[in-house]
Amino acid sequence: MKVIATIGIVLGLLVSLAHAEVATPEQHEKNIEMCTQNLLAIGKAIEVYEKEHSDFPVWLSDLHPKHLIDSNVLICPSDPEGGKPIYTGNTDPEMPVSYSYEINPEYREWKTEQRKVYGDAMPIVRCRHHANEDFAVLNLSFSSRVYRSANIWENKPTEIYENVEEAIVTLAGGIQRHPDNANFAYVYPMLVSLYMKAERAKDAENLINRYKETLKPDSIREHLVLGDMLKRINQDEEQLQLYNKLEEQFPENRTVFRRLAEIHDRLGNAELANEYRIKADPVLALIGKTVPDFSAMDLDGNPISLEQYRGKVVLLDFWAVWCGPCIAEMPNVKAVYNSYKDEGFDIIGISLDTDEDHLRDYLKENDIPWRQVFSGEGWKSPVAQQYGIRAIPAPWLIDKDGTLITHQARGEKLERLVAEALKGKSTN
């Protein structure tokens, strides 16, 4: 749960613009203002509730009707479905609510712990229905301030504080009070970046040196954090030494390979960078080559394989209902499918869900017509195991002749690549 929350609910967590209501710039800004007023009203209601109960509500619906008389306050004007958060895991069980409540029962323990470091500036309620090129989320903080931020606010702490110095004081104080809490290790690189932004390089260096003194020799996690800290002060050579040692100690770790690829890229070692990229993501070696066939049963009990789709452009979509970014991407996938299904484009869903009823309900409610492979084994799904899937969404776009075009066919890129492939002009 901690990892999911930290990276914005699974690495983290990109919001599809397809959810946003089509509106003029003027209406868009008006909706943001109305949503801001909703969030402020929710904040006041939470404050009163907390004073009365000495605790926060379990869900936002608990505020209505006593503390929040008008239930329409819980509906964002940009929510096209009139009361549904972008991530289904944040759905209020009692009534329509557009907003994500950050301390709902699933995340309360972790968010309460996070607050010990980030303080009252961190979000308690979030709205993702206004996502555009300027920001992804409108937030209400524990201190009832409304501000805009990226989806993964932990990666950009300057967005949640009034200024850099406030961010430094809060985060530095937080990790000093909880120096042995491994869950806060990711805060250290953020603090280094803040020191550099404030032109306090010496403080950044001192923090890194103090961190080195506490490193456990066999903890890859702590060494990766050190690598992140060194990156923030542009110490490529020291990073290279660190990751070379980690490669010897952990010869199969893909994160180490990924970091080495990045460093060699910056150092101009193109061949080595490419070697490490393929080690980090072996699927890269398949691009432009024939994807091995699989054989399985679809959700209706019928045999299914890639060979059956030869001659079509196919999206082999590894996903799950519990995956926020997968669900956020689904409207885009449906739109591309509807546009090109009669021209030779098709989709095979490989579900990494474990609850068949939940999967079937989602497919029915969202009118998903293409075939699905479901084993109920989650990450141990035989098809996912066959192709080495370690993160989702993983949308593999396969050409008519069975060759892999890309394993990252998402967003605006998906439609462009499908259109090119159907015209026989595939580009990797």
What does the pLDDT read at residue 255?
A: 94
Whether residue 310 is contained in a domain is answered as yes
Q: What is the CATH number of the domain that holds 229?
A: 1.25.40.10
Q: Give the pLDDT mean for 178-195.
A: 91
Residues 119-146: tens digit of each pLDDT: 999 999 999 999 877 888 999 999 999 9
Residues 274 and 304 in one domain: no
Residues 413 and 306 in one domain: yes
**Phi, psi for 104 (deg, rounded to 5):** -65, 170
Tokens of 351: 């579900």
Residues 258-289: tens digit of each pLDDT: 999 999 999 999 999 999 999 998 888 889 99
What does the pLDDT read at residue 245?
A: 95
Q: 411: pLDDT confidence band, cut at 50, 70 and 90?
A: confident
- Of 122, 153, 184, the residue at which a domain comes to its end is 153
Contact 278, 254 (CB under 8 A): no
Q: 83: pLDDT confidence band, cut at 50, 70 and 90?
A: very high
Between residues 54 and 23, the one the model is more confident about: 54
**Residue in 323, 293, 292, 303 with CA at minimum distance from that of residue 371:** 303
Residues 135 and 42 in one domain: yes
Whether residue 39 is contained in a domain is answered as yes
What does the pLDDT read at residue 8?
A: 35
Q: 233: pLDDT confidence band, cut at 50, 70 and 90?
A: very high
What does the pLDDT read at residue 418?
A: 96
Residues 362-406: tens digit of each pLDDT: 999 999 999 999 999 999 999 999 999 989 999 999 999 999 999
Whether residue 427 is contained in a domain is answered as no
Residues 183 and 209 in one domain: yes
- CA pair distance 137, 126, nearest whole angstrom: 6
Whether residue 219 is contained in a domain is answered as yes
Residues 6-20: tens digit of each pLDDT: 333 333 333 333 344
Range of the domain at 45: 2-153
What does the pLDDT read at residue 101?
A: 97
Length of the chain: 428
Contact 266, 379 (CB under 8 A): no
Residues 311 and 242 in one domain: no
- Of 230, 260, 283, the residue at which a domain comes to its end is 283
Residues 147 and 95 in one domain: yes
Whether residue 136 is contained in a domain is answered as yes
Percent of the chain with pLDDT over 90: 79
Residues 379 and 246 in one domain: no
Residues 135 and 221 in one domain: no
Residues 275 and 366 in one domain: no
What does the pLDDT read at residue 1?
A: 35
Q: Give the pLDDT mean for 161-187.
A: 92
Whether residue 288 is contained in a domain is answered as no
Number of domains comprising the chain: 3
Whether residue 159 is contained in a domain is answered as no
Q: 428: pLDDT confidence band, cut at 50, 70 and 90?
A: low
Whether residue 312 is contained in a domain is answered as yes
Residues 236 and 378 in one domain: no
- Of 259, 283, 307, the residue at which a domain comes to its end is 283
What does the pLDDT read at residue 4?
A: 34
Strand ranges, E, within 232-359: 295-297, 303-305, 313-319, 345-351
**Phi, psi for 327 (deg, rounded to 5):** -70, -40
Q: In terms of DSSP bridges, do strands 295-297 and 146-149 run parallel, antiparallel, or are they unpaired? A: unpaired
Average pLDDT of the chain, as a whole number: 91
Tokens of 358: 């939940």
What does the pLDDT read at residue 124?
A: 98
Residues 352 and 274 in one domain: no
Query: Distances from the Cα of 86 to the Cαs of 12, 28, 55, 91, 245, in angstroms?
Result: 14, 18, 26, 9, 42
What does the pLDDT read at residue 194?
A: 96
What does the pLDDT read at residue 16?
A: 37
Residues 304-334: tens digit of each pLDDT: 999 999 999 999 999 999 998 899 899 999 9
Q: What is the CATH number of the domain that holds 387?
A: 3.40.30.10
Contact 63, 99 (CB under 8 A): no
Q: At what angle do helices 236-249 and 220-232 cross, to 10 degrees?
A: 170
Residues 404 and 303 in one domain: yes
- Is the confidence at residue 52, as pLDDT, over 60? yes
What does the pLDDT read at residue 81?
A: 87
